[in-house]
Structure 1
Amino acid sequence: MLFNSIDFPIFLSIVFILYWFITNRNLKLQNLLIVIASYIFYGWWDWRFLSLIVFSTVVDYTIGRLLRTEKHELKRKALLFTSILINLGFLGFFKYYNFFLDNFINAFSFFGNQVHANSLNIILPIGISFYTLQTLSYTIDVYKRKFEPTQDFIAFSAFVSFFPQLVAGPIERASNLLPQFYNKRIFDYSKAVDGMRQILWGLFKKIVIADNCAEFANQIFNNSADYSGSTLALGALFFTFQIYGDFSGYSDIAIGTSRLFGFNLKRNFAFPYFSRDIAEFWRRWHISLSSWLRDYLYIPLGGSRGTTWMKVRNTFIIFIVSGFWHGANWTFIVWGALNALYFLPLLLTNNHRKNLEIVAKGKLLPSLKELLLMLLTFGLTVFTWIFFRAKNIEHALSYITEIFSRSIFTTPEIIPSNLILLIFLFVCIEWLGREEQYAISNLGLKWKRPIRYVMYYAILIAIFWFSGKQQDFIYFQF
């Protein structure tokens, strides 16, 4: 079920009424309703893959219970390894089987040996990359005795399958989300209103910005040989705003929806395109994944401690794993490696934690230095997104080659002036709200109610008036 479909508001309204008016006196019933609603939400896409979520839930719940009582360290490690093997095994099969098979065949063919093997027509279950990391973090934290395993199977099932963030995050930790299923929720009007505001802004990002940018980004990338360098540069820029509006829009809707039911999800985006260096960008982009990889991979490898070689190694590992997590294509691996190259100079000069505060905090405009650093970081980011969007490495290289040709100085064949204006207004609103949790969090709260509601209705009208062709959320494929 898509957030931007007509089905979702109907589904959400029914669940909301049942949750607060029918099951509100019984916590277990509320949690059970969330589980049932989440399975319906996920099964709307393809009910057959519900078995994967159920199986993963049972496995990690059982292993968590066993880790609670098991004292022998070797057996505890065996239990942890079992969880990792099962979860990553499913992820590896559905997401990477054909990738490894094709590369295996190509490697042997390179040396003159012909290997015959058939690829499988595998459908990637949406959300598998997200809920796999979520359940893994639970088992790892229980193994390390950082978190007490739950004995409430319904609460754990709700934690794994919680429908607002099930298919594209934020990737939640058990320490934050699971305890919220233990406590009785009381309807909070102000929290619900804030949630509706965040949903509204998330829908604007997705439907007005991302979907409109997608039309032109797809047209340009899919026919890149027909366009000049200036048009290709514009296409890369459109994809840059498409992926941000799409993914951060999903996160806003997920976080806002969870607040309607009395839950607080972790923030996933913090205005990353206003970053002054790549390290700051990665602290603000897909925060739940970046922090997961930091805590469960980067730090166990030694982090930024140790020799220079270890720092370089760990940096490349975490970024390449991040790239590979996004998809079974060499373009994602190159995308990750490029970000590692961007990050290394900051790490080696100990400047990777230089820009921790939001840019120009308390000011209307940035300084000239801040502006130049933002533009440089943004430009580097746009360049890497070309690899992320390209069909393969050859496509990415030809795309970049044409951008850096003389045709970059020609007039673009495609100039959607209305969309460019919308992006400009969008960036202005994001800039004004950059110190908040989301752009319109406090926008207009001090205005008189009629004026404030005019603004909300204006955003709502823009969603319908400027809506682009409906597109799936990009991260559904990851």
Structure 2
Amino acid sequence: MLFNSLDFAIFLPIVFLLYWFVFQKHLRAQNALIAAASYLFYGWWDWRFLTLIIFSSLVDYIVGLQLEKTDGKQRRKVLLWISIIINLGFLGFFKYFNFFIDNFVSAFSFFGYQIPSTSLNIILPVGISFYTFQTLSYTIDVYRKKLKPTKDFVAFTAFVSFFPQLVAGPIERATNLLPQFYTKRKFDYNEAVLGMRQILWGLFKKVVIADNCAQLANDIFNNSADYGGTSLALGALMFTFQIYGDFSGYSDIAIGTARLFGFKLMKNFAFPYFSRDIAEFWRRWHISLSTWFRDYLYIPLGGSRGGTLMKVRNTFIIFIVSGFWHGANWTFIVWGALNAIYFLPLLLRNKNRVHTGGIAENRVLPTFKELRGMLLTFSLTVLAWVFFRAEDMAHAGQFLMDLFLGLADYMNYYKTYRLLYNFNPSLVFLIIFFYLIEWFGRHNDFAIQKLLKNSPRIIRFIFYSLLIYLIFNFMVAEETPFIYFQF
């Protein structure tokens, strides 16, 4: 079920009314409703995959209870590894089986040995990477004794399958989200209003910005051989806006929806395209994933505590694994490695924590130094996104080569202008409007959280009406899935 669909527009009010007006006095019934609604939400794509999420939940629930019963170091490790192997085993089979088989066959073919391929027609379950990491956080934290295991299976299944963030995050920690299922929730009007405001902004980012940028980006990437350098640059730029509007838009809708039910999810994006270096970018982009890898992989490997070689090794591991998490393709691995290369100079010079505050604090405009850093970081990010979007390494390489060689052809600049104009002459103005709102709201949890807060009610009404008008006016004809559903 898509957030930007009629199905969800019907589903959400029904669950909301049942939650607050029928089961308000019964915490366990509310949790059971959330679990049932979440399974319906997830099964809307393919009910067969419900068995995976239910089985994964059952395994980690039992492992958690068994961890509480024993202090034996060896037995606790065995229990932890049972959870890790089962969860990552499912993830590895559905997401990476064909990748490893195909590369295994290619490796032998390179040395002259021909072996038959056994690739399977495997359908990737929606959101498996997200809920796998979420339930693993529970087992690992129980193993580390940072969290008491729950005996409430209903609350646990609701935690694992919580529908607002089930299929594309944020990847919640058990230490943050699970205790919220034990606490009686009371309807908070102000939080509900804030949630609706965040949902509205998320829909604007997805429907108006991401989906319209996607039309142009898809045309250019899918037919890159037909375009000149400046048009290819435009395609990379459009994908940059698309993926941010798409993914951060999903996160805003998820967090806003959770607010409607009395839950607080972690912030997943903090205006990453205003970052002044790549380290700051990764503290602001997909925060729930980057902090997950930091806490459960990077720090256990030694983090930045060792010598230079260990720092370099751990940096490449964390970025390459992060890239591979996104998909079974060498383009994602190279995307991760490229970001590691961007990051290393800052780490080795101990400048990776320079920019921890917001840009242009107490100022309307950034300084020249901040602007320069922001533009450089944005440009490097656009370049890296080419690998993320390309079909394969050959496509990425040819795309970048044609892009850079074609920038000197000034005749293509007019062709690029005509291309943009013919696709959507309003798109540039929509992006400028979007960026201005994001800039002025950059110190908040989301851009319009406090925008026009002290303005007359009629001004706020006009602004929200404008957003709703733009959403309906620029909505593409077909429902467009969120990019991160494929991960």
TM-score of the two chains, using structure 2 as the length reference? 0.97
Q: Does 1:473 align with 2:478?
A: no
Q: Deviations over 1:366-419 (max 9, x none)?
A: 011110110000000000000000000010010000111144533115123311
Q: Deviations over 1:49-88 (max 9, x none)?
A: 0000100000000000000011211011000000000000
- Of 403, 426, 431, the residue aligned with 2:434 is 426
Distance 1:375 1:117 in 2: 46
Q: Does 1:414 align with 2:414?
A: no
Q: What is the identity, as a one-letter code, of the residue corresponding to 2:181?
A: F
Q: Does 1:451 align with 2:459?
A: yes
Q: What is the aligned length?
A: 478
**Which residue matches 2:385?**
385
Distance 2:274 2:83 in 1: 39
Distance 2:347 2:42 in 1: 41
Cα shift at 1:468: 2.6
**Which residue matches 1:273?**
273
**Which residue matches 1:206?**
206
Moved runs in structure 1, 4+ residues, more than 4 A?
none
Please report the RMSD computed on the Cα atoms of aligned residues, expressed in angstroms.
0.7
| The 10-residue stretch of structure 1 (322-331 or 403-412) with the greater mean CA deviation from structure 2 | 403-412
Distance 1:42 1:259 in 2: 20
**Which residue matches 1:76?**
76
Q: Deviations over 1:19-57 (max 9, x none)?
A: 000011100000000000000000001000000010000
Q: Deviations over 1:122-162 (max 9, x none)?
A: 00000100000001111001001111111110000000000
Unaligned stretches of 5+ in structure 1?
none
Q: What is the identity, as a one-letter code, of the residue corresponding to 1:165?
A: Q
Cα shift at 1:450: 1.5
Distance 1:471 1:399 in 2: 25
Cα shift at 1:305: 1.0
Distance 2:119 2:81 in 1: 28
| Equivalence map 1:51-130=2 (5 Å) | 51-130=51-130
SS in 1 for 2:419: coil
Distance 1:351 1:468 in 2: 43
Distance 2:453 2:254 in 1: 22
Q: Does the CA contact (< 8 Å) of 2:91 and 2:128 recur in 1?
A: yes
Distance 1:237 1:451 in 2: 33
Distance 1:8 1:120 in 2: 33
- Of 429, 444, 450, the residue aligned with 1:436 is 444
**Which residue matches 2:43?**
43
TM-score of the two chains, using structure 1 as the length reference? 0.99
Q: What is the identity, as a one-letter code, of the residue corresponding to 1:72?
A: G
Distance 1:344 1:370 in 2: 20
| The 10-residue stretch of structure 1 (100-109 or 407-416) with the greater mean CA deviation from structure 2 | 407-416
| Equivalence map 1:221-240=2 (5 Å) | 221-240=221-240
Q: Deviations over 1:152-203 (max 9, x none)?
A: 1000000000000000000000110000000100000000000000000000
Distance 2:86 2:346 in 1: 37
**Which residue matches 1:304?**
304
